[in-house]
């Protein structure tokens, strides 16, 4: 059905895809794995000739025997969506915010004169028919993504291309969306080309797997075999990056003796208007201890972290740091913030694009008036964060660095104040698989060398298994279960923890 022969794509002199050969038959599911910049999305977009004008495409792209490259404009329009359609990443941005989703699903049907009803399509993706009248912002992330799938199926295509369909979703919703996609592929005998950086997602849905690296397909075969016995070092790096819960080899944190408490949260309540985001939470973090706070999006874990940092006022309850209650205002709060530092999820937005690395790292020093010897302190912090030699990076602007390097700069900016607790909100979620492992190792090394305690907020149970000493599971504002990693993740006591664990895709 789809056949790529010797496909190469150049942007100017830069080759982003080189000599890719792929075939896909009806009913077949093919996963395309790779990191950002590996060319996997470019391959997908080339199938429907959706690449920008600057792209130079060579080779053959045969869709049902016709070469997409040489198709007439009219024929291409007929082929798009009716023969092959795409489920785009980030459904929030791919849906028009001012039109009802039902109209948007119907749009390709109207353009192609396809018969059929929006209601049936919504039923196929397990959405109630009333949702057709909803606007995108009235739907949750998982519902929006299902609308995107319904839209892709509107004209009865035989090939569906899914570009990172679940990337922004948390585990439970991801599992639901993947289940819908899998069922539809099986029922309607569709060909599915699924693109993801996450091998476990591809393992869940695809029979065959191709791994891309720097524009080339470096390995392909049956998914199980590729993941079980990776032959190419890059594939091995990708598989290693996704920890298997319960596998001692993926447990990187060394066992620590029970430490004395550094931070204690007592009966903390935070309200947003009438909504209770955090509902009576008790949490303790010991000196040099790494605690993972896991839960779905909306469970209140980020609000809890913000409140601990003093960025939000709690409605009631206490935060005790090092034996003293944390002040809410003034000098005492400022002094507390020297001790506790924040690492955010997306490093590219956590750095001011106008500030150099030096400025970004030195910002904390300037805030606290530690002006003397700035240069030496910044250099030391940057090198601690493993950007060596520091002189190479100090004058760089954030956009000149890779995602992993940016995250190291954010960590260096936290380290420069010599904090005792690091609060990290999804510290590796937006990083590539190979970088992820390095950042996890860095956090563990900082704990070992500096005795730095961390509160890691994540929806990724694998990360918790890899790094944490203790896990606290948060659900609807409450901590429903906490204990040592082994205890919580291997013998979960609460139903919600079990549900979370079930939703984790199995490699």
Partner 1 sequence: MSRFDRTGLAGAGVLAVAALVALVAPLLIDAEALDVTRVTAGAWQAPGAGHWLGTDHTGRSVALLLAQGTGTSLFVGLTAAILSVGIGTLVGIVSGHFGGLLAGALLRVTDFFLVLPALVLAIALSTVLPRGLGTIVLAIGLTSWPSTARMVRAQTLTIEARPFVERARALGGGHGHVIARHVVPSVVPLVLVNATLAVASAIVAESTLAFLGLGDPTRISWGAMLHQAQLHGAVPQQAWWYLLPPGLAIVVVVLAFTLVGRALEAVVTPKR
Interacting residues toward partner 1 by CB under 8 A: 309, 311, 333-334, 337-338, 340-342, 344-346, 349-352, 354, 363-364, 366-368, 410, 413, 417
When the beta carbons of 206 and 410 are compared against partner 1, the nearer one is 410
Considering the complex, state which of residue 52 and residue 113 has its C-beta at the smaller distance from partner 1. 52
In the complex, minimum distance from the CB of residue 341 to partner 1, in angstroms, rounded to a whole number:
7
Nearer to partner 1, 241 or 304 (CB): 304
CB of 34 to partner 1, least distance (A): 24
Strand runs labelled E in 12-97: 14-24, 29-33, 55-63, 66-67, 84-87
- 29 Cβ neighbours under 8 A, 6+ residues apart: 185, 191, 192, 194, 205, 206, 207, 208
Question: Least distance from C-beta 482 to partner 1, angstroms?
Answer: 24
Length of the chain, in residues: 507
- State how far the Cα of 343 lies from the Cα of 423, in Å rounded to an integer: 6
Residue 19 CB, nearest distance to partner 1 (Å)?
A: 30
Residue 403 CA to residue 383 CA, distance in Å, equals: 17
DSSP alpha helix (H) spans, 189-328: 199-205, 223-228, 233-241, 301-308
C-beta of residue 500 within 8 angstroms of C-beta of residue 458 = no
Smallest distance, partner 1 to C-beta of residue 226, A = 36
Cβ 452 to partner 1, closest distance in Å?
16
CA distance 242 to 238: 7
Structure tokens at 504: 């984790």
Could you tell me if 43 and 32 are in contact, meaning their C-beta atoms sit under 8 angstroms apart?
A: yes
Q: Which is nearer to partner 1, 89 or 235 (CB)?
A: 89
Q: List beta partners, residue 325.
A: 320
Minimum Å gap between C-beta 365 and partner 1 is 9
* CB 356 within 8 Å of CB 397: yes
Pairing type for strands 324-325 and 316-321 reads antiparallel
In 3D, which of 249, 191, 190, 200 has the Cα closest to residue 224?
200
Beta carbon nearer to partner 1, 166 or 341 = 341
Closest among 358, 335, 334 to 416, alpha carbons compared: 358
Q: Which CB, 136 or 364, lies closer to partner 1?
A: 364
- Supply the minimum distance, in Å, between the C-beta of residue 133 and partner 1: 30
The residue (of 109 and 350) whose beta carbon lies closer to partner 1 is 350
Rg (CA), the chain: 25
Q: Which is nearer to partner 1, 248 or 330 (CB)?
A: 330
Residue 412 CB, nearest approach to partner 1 (Å)? 12
Q: Where are the alpha helices (DSSP H) in 125-197?
A: 141-153, 171-188
Instruction: Tell me whether residue 213 or residue 420 sits nearer to partner 1 (CB atom).
Output: 420
Reply yes or no: is the peptide bond before residue 461 cis, omega within 30 of 0. Answer: no
CA–CA gap between residue 212 and residue 228 (Å, rounded) = 17
Contact call for residues 143 and 176 (beta carbons, < 8 A): no
| d(C-alpha 112, C-alpha 314), whole Å | 54
A 10 A CB-CB count for 109 gives 20
Query: Which spans in 393-432 are helix H?
Result: 403-415
Give the up-direction half-sphere exposure of residue 37: CA atoms within 13 A in the CB hemisphere: 8
Residue among 129 and 368 whose Cβ is closer to partner 1: 368
> Of 306 and 475, which CB lies nearer to partner 1 in the complex structure?
306
The distance of closest approach from Cβ of residue 446 to partner 1 in the complex, given in angstroms and rounded to an integer, is: 17
CB of 297 to partner 1, least distance (A): 16
């Amino acid at each position: 059905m789809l056949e790529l022969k010797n496909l190469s794509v150049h942007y100017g002199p830069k080759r982003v895809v080189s000599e890719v050969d792929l075939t896909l038959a009806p009913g077949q599911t093919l996963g395309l794995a790779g990191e950002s910049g590996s060319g996997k999305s470019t391959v997908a977009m080339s199938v429907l000739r959706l690449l920008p004008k600057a792209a130079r495409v060579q080779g053959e792209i045969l869709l049902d025997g016709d070469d997409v490259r040489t198709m007439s404009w009219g024929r291409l329009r007929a082929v798009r969506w009716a023969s092959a359609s795409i489920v785009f990443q980030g459904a929030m941005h791919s849906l028009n915010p001012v039109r009802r989703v039902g109209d948007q699903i119907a749009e390709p049907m109207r353009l192609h004169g396809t018969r059929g009803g929006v209601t049936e399509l919504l039923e196929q993706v397990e959405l109630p028919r009333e949702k057709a009248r909803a606007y995108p912002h009235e739907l949750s992330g998982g519902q929006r993504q299902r609308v995107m799938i319904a839209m892709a199926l509107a004209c009865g295509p035989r090939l569906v291309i899914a570009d990172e369909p679940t990337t922004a979703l948390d585990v439970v919703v991801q599992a639901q969306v993947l289940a819908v996609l899998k069922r539809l592929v099986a029922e309607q005998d569709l060909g599915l080309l699924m693109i993801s950086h996450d091998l476990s997602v591809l393992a869940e849905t695809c029979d065959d797997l191709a791994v891309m690296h720097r524009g080339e397909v470096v390995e392909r075969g049956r998914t199980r075999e590729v993941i079980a016995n990776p032959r190419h070092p890059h594939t091995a790096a990708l598989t290693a990056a996704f920890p298997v819960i319960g596998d001692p080899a993926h447990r990187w944190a060394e066992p620590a003796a029970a430490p004395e408490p550094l931070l204690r949260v007592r009966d903390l309540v935070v309200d947003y208007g009438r909504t209770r985001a955090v509902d009576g939470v008790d949490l303790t973090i010991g000196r040099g201890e790494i605690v993972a706070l896991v839960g779905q999006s909306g469970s209140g874990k980020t609000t809890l972290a913000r409140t601990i940092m003093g960025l939000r006022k709690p409605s009631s309850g206490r935060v005790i740091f090092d034996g003293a209650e944390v002040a809410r205002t003034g000098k005492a709060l400022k002094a507390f913030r020297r001790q506790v530092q924040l690492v955010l999820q997306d490093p590219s937005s956590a750095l001011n694009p106008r500030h150099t690395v030096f400025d970004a790292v030195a910002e904390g020093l300037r805030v606290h008036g530690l002006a003397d010897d700035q240069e030496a302190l910044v250099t030391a912090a940057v090198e601690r964060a493993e950007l060596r030699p520091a002189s190479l990076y100090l004058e760089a602007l954030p956009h000149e660095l890779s995602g992993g390097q940016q995250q190291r700069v954010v960590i260096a900016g936290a380290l420069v104040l010599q904090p005792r607790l690091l609060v990290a909100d999804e510290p590796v979620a937006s990083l590539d698989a190979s970088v992820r492992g390095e950042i996890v190792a860095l956090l563990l090394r900082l704990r070992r060398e500096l005795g730095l305690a961390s509160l890691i907020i994540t929806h990724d149970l694998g990360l918790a298994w890899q790094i944490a000493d203790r896990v606290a599971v948060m659900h609807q504002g409450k901590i429903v279960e906490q204990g040592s990693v082994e205890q919580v993740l291997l013998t979960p006591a609460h139903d919600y923890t079990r549900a979370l664990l079930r939703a984790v895709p199995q490699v």
